[in-house]
Structure 1
Amino acid sequence: MKVLHVIPSVSPVRGGPSQAVLEMVHALNQQGITTEIVTTNDHGSDLLNVPLEQQICHPLPFSNQTVPTCFFSRFSPRIASIREFSFSAQMTKWLWENIAQYDLVHVHAIFSYPSTIAMAIARLQGIPYIIRPIGQLCEWSLKQGKQKKQLYLNLIEKANLDHSRFLHLTSEQEHLELLKLNVKASSFILPLGFSFSNRIPDARQRIRLHLNLSPDEPIILFLSRLHPKKGLDYLIPALGQLAHHRFTFVLAGSGEPSYEAYVKSLLISNGIYNRTRLTGFVEGEIKNLLLQGSDLFVLTSHSENFGIAVLEAMASGLPVLATPGVALAAEIERYQLGYISQLAISDITSTLETYLTDQKRGNLMGQHAFQFVREHYNWSKIATRLIQIYQTIVEPKSISIVSH
């Protein structure tokens, strides 16, 4: 079986969805499925420095492993909205000439040129495909740029969705939101996995030394894209009401310059700018030190169809504070892996107060979360299940699955 994965970007600045596809493809290849990625050289406002129009061995994050990947040039005008669409004429030509070599196409994301054109070409050439919409069909996401997305959905993407063999959803919450739309395609729920980094025994001491903090300073960590959907306009005012508690807030991530400036203004107006460390985008050893050396991870998001950043934190042994919009919230609450707060300043403040007054209980939650992720979010197990689903499409008489 030969499977092609298409995604607009695998740049680390694009966060969890890009990291997940690299790890997914690696896990599939480890189990004997010939799997490759086609993408653009998108790197946010910049471009990745990679060879184009040829398959290369692209590094897997936090590993010495590689993933077969073919990059194509992204059209990069100054207008951000056009640049973000990730148009690539070279990718279009390659897909038209090569897509028939594959038994199946696994598309990641919608409302983006690489994904849309891959689905359209697959339809025209009779190649089956499935779609992982990465939360872009969730209610909050559809409300952002509502008129433009609705037009795009009605004119183009609805037909692509309806003709897909399956929609690959990553949580029950994403499935429930999909039911509100009139999508004809069946779906299956299969979570994302996590590849564990090596433990750093002295992470707590090293990250505090790096940030110039005292050895016993509590660290509350936000590590994600800086984006309006992440709820920082709720989290930062909540932190500002806890001046009587000792902690340092680490804000690790990057976003559009205008939004970064807004976040900085929030920190100043809420009186916690001097208690905050703004690290910008982090990866590699510094990212691992932050995850393994902090005390509490926070993600007060409006909407996360999965929440790979939350999974990373739990896999590092951190208790997490999340809001119901994060799809992992139900499991966090059910198995007591952290704290769930409503997306309101008063509720977030109260939940943070609960943690800061009983950090030992939080530490126990973090230990439990570490074991839980190891047991339930293993990429090898997830890849095995995904291969079974692929086989129902490519070899429909061999195996049957239950779709939603």
Structure 2
Amino acid sequence: MKVLHVIPSVSPVRGGPSQALLDIVKALLDRGIHAEVVTTNDNGVDLLDIPLCQLTEYQQVPIRFFPRVSPPITTLREFAASSQLTTWLWQNISEYDLLHIHALFSYPCTTAMVIARLKKVPYLVRPLGLLCTWSLQQSAWKKQIYLDLIERANLNHSQALEFTTLQEQREAAPLALKPPSFILPFSVSVPTPIPDARQLLRQRLQIPADEPIILFMSRLHYKKGLDYLISALGAIKNQRFTFVLAGSGSPDYESQIEAQLLAVGISDRTHRVGFVQGEMKELLLQGSDIFALTSHSESFGLAVLEAIAAGLAIVITPGVPLAPVVEQYQLGCITALETATIARSLQKCLEDLNNCQQTKQRRDRARQLILKQYSWGSIASNLSEVYKSILNKEPLPNFD
């Protein structure tokens, strides 16, 4: 079986879905499936420094990168157009048994689906939350035109739609798309413990050894509801805590965030560490106490799952589809997207940190959850069954 994965970008600055694709492909390769990725050299406002138009090993994954057109207009740049990618797809797409499309409303994905239809190569689509209500409401008329003229036909000709949560599947239902769908969540690995992570992080931040740390770690974007979180932190600034803000975004939005931190009076207790990965990312996850993501909408919320795996108390909104899991396993607080409610949830989590037995029990529940339901091995095994069903023209397996 030879599967080609198509995604606009695998750059770390594009967040969880891009990283998750790399993990998916590595897990598929471990199961003997010939999997490759085709993408652009997109890196946000920049470009990845990577060999182009050839098969390259990138983070242990075979990937072909093609040059992205880079006009000064953000919307056009993020569309990730690439004529070389188009040419390669047209000449080579028939060599693959199946295409797996990751994302919508982007040049690489739209082009790949159109060419696959013309060449009669089957494909499935992972929308990455772009069919959810909140997402479709952003630039609504543009997306509606794009959907009606191009993307609906592409979606309806796919062999399956892959959603990461039941919530994402339900929000796409009003579109009445024809293909069958299935649900496969993202996964993470239980992290290798960093000895004395709490002490090391506080030493690096130059704060007291017993200072509680509230962590936000995600792309800096309006969608993430960071303005609500900062307002809530300002409302409890009489409590002891340090706020760590990890992530990057557009210069304009980052300036707005900086101004709000000053306005609510928590700039002096906020550490902005920018985009993080590798050792620093793990240190933040293992050394912090509370993870907060007050998003308007998420397709899944991979950063939340990483925080659960690290044993942090979780504060999230219903717009994060992992909210029912957090509630069921008593891993933190689900809060409405409003300042006062978020503030109360943060206060409760800060107070609960004083109960060592309760904290240990929460971390034990989190570990068992990750091992039982969110391992890459089980996800890759299920995905390979989907591929076989599509190629054999059989009904999709049921993973309930």
User: In structure 1, the residue corresponding to 2:305 is in which secondary structure?
Assistant: helix
What residue in structure 2 maps to residue 203 of structure 1? 197
Q: Is the 8 A contact 1:27 1:383 kept in 2?
A: yes
Please tell me whether residue 4 in structure 1 is matched to residue 4 in structure 2.
Answer: yes
1:82-103 residue CA offsets vs partner (Å, 9 max, x unmatched): 1100001000000001110011
State the 1:182 CA deviation: 2.3
Counterpart of 2:352 (choices 344, 358, 364) is: 358
Structure 2: gaps of 5 or more residues? none
**What aligned pairs does 1:360-379 form with structure 2 within 5 A after superposition?**
360=355, 361-362=358-359, 364-379=361-376
1:391 and 2:359 correspond: no
- Distance in structure 1 (CA, Å) of the matches to 2:144 and 2:360: 45
Matched, 1:155 2:149: yes
Tell me how far 1:237 sits from its aligned partner.
0.7
Q: Which segment is superposed worse, 334-343 or 247-256? A: 334-343
1: CA distance, partners of 2:300 / 2:341? 22
Against the structure 1 CA distance between its residues 363 and 353, is the aligned structure 2 distance closer, same or farther, given a 3 Å change threshold? farther
Are residue 256 (structure 1) and residue 287 (structure 2) matched? no
CA contact (8 A) 2:390 2:396 kept: no
Give the Å deviation of 1:266: 1.1
Secondary structure of 1:327's aligned partner: coil
Does 2:169 correspond to 1:175? yes
Are the counterparts in 2 of residues 319 and 363 from structure 1 also a CA contact under 8 Å?
Answer: no
**Residues 313, 349 of structure 2: 8 Å contact kept:** no
1:127 aligns with 2:124: no
100, 108, 119: which one aligns with 1:106: 100
Could you say which residue in structure 2 is the equivalent of 1:212?
206
Local SS of the residue matching 1:279: strand
Q: Secondary structure at the match of 1:93?
A: helix
Pick one of 122, 143, 161 that aligns with 2:137: 143
Alpha-carbon contact 1:110-1:136 (below 8 Å) kept: yes
Q: Look up the match of 1:222.
A: 216
Counterpart of 1:62 in structure 2 is: none
Residues in 1 aligned to 2:165 and 2:383: alpha-carbon distance in whole angstroms: 15
Partners of 1:355 and 1:362 within 8 A in 2: no
Structure 2 residue 228 is matched with structure 1 residue 234: yes
Change (3 A) 1:400 1:157: closer
Q: Distance in 1 between matches of 2:84 and 2:343?
A: 50
Partner of 1:44: 44
AA of the residue aligned to 1:164: S
2: CA distance, partners of 1:91 / 1:366? 45
Distance, in Å, in 1 between the alignment partners of 2:361 and 2:237 is 25
* Ranges in structure 1 where 5+ consecutive residues have no aligned partner: 60-65
Q: Which amino acid aligns with 1:374?
A: L
- 1:403 to partner: Cα distance: 9.3
Give the residue type in structure 1 aligned to 2:397.
Answer: I
Contact 1:129 1:165 in 2 (8 A): yes
CA contact (8 A) 1:315 1:374 kept: no
Identity over aligned pairs, percent: 54
SS in 2 for 1:306: coil
- Of 286, 304, 307, the residue aligned with 1:313 is 307
8 A contact 1:58–1:69 mirrored in 2: yes
**Residue 117 in structure 1 maps to residue 111 in structure 2:** yes
TM (norm. structure 2) is 0.97
Match of 1:93 in 2: 87
Quote how far apart the aligned CAs of 1:400 are: 5.1
Q: Structure 1 residues 123, 297: CA separation in 2 closer, same or farther (over 3 Å shift)?
A: same
Q: How far, CA to CA, are the matches of 1:334 and 1:137 in structure 2?
A: 26
Contact 1:218 1:246 in 2 (8 A): yes
Q: Assess if the C-alpha contact under 8 Å between 1:310 and 1:320 holds in 2.
A: yes
Are 1:246 and 2:240 matched, yes or no? Answer: yes
Shift of 1:317: 1.3
- Matched residue SS, 2:174: coil
Give 1:63's aligned residue: none
Counterparts of 1:403 and 1:366 in 2: how far apart (Å)? 27
Contact 1:38 1:69 in 2 (8 A): yes
CA contact (8 A) 1:342 1:348 kept: yes
Paired residue type of 1:373: I
Partner of 2:340: 346
Cα distance in 2 for partners of 1:130, 1:197 equals 31
CA contact (8 A) 1:318 1:363 kept: no
Corresponding residue number in structure 2 for 1:401: 397
Matched-pair contact (CA < 8 Å) for 1:23–1:195 = no
Q: Does 1:266 align with 2:260?
A: yes
Deviations 1:258-289 (A, max 9, x none): 00011111111111111100111111111110
Cα distance, 1:363 vs structure 2: 5.2
* Aligned AA (1:94): W
Equivalent residues in 2 for 1:15-30, closer than 5 Å: 15-30=15-30
SS of the aligned residue for 2:50 comes to coil
Q: Which TM-score applies when normalising by structure 1?
A: 0.96
SS at match of 1:179: helix
RMSD: 1.3
